[in-house]
Amino acid sequence: MAVSGRRRFDDDKVVRYETTEKDFEVEVSRTLNKWCVTVYQLPDRAILVQDFFPERWKALARAQDFIRLLNQRKKKEEEGLAASEDDY
């Protein structure tokens, strides 16, 4: 199978994911020769974490991992509150 040297037009697009509570945003962007995954705390977009990957698919997978973890954090907080209310 022949592979052309051209990239797909969407390979350089910035990809953004938001948590369900809209309090964090994860962005995947191309920086120099690497893919950068950045976690921002909203609303002021303060950078919490940055990680770099040589391949786009690895960066996208890590971004989705971050979103999943951030969304689970909120669920665990709610479960903890529900458990403490049941103690009464």
Mean pLDDT by 10 residues, the chain (88 residues): 58 89 95 95 95 96 96 75 61
Cα–Cα separations (whole angstroms), residue 45 to 8, 20, 23, 28, 71: 29, 16, 10, 14, 18
pTM reported for the whole predicted model: 0.74
pLDDT number for residue 54: 96
pLDDT of residue 81: 65
Q: What local confidence, expressed as pLDDT, does residue 85 receive?
A: 60
For the chain, domain boundaries: 15-81
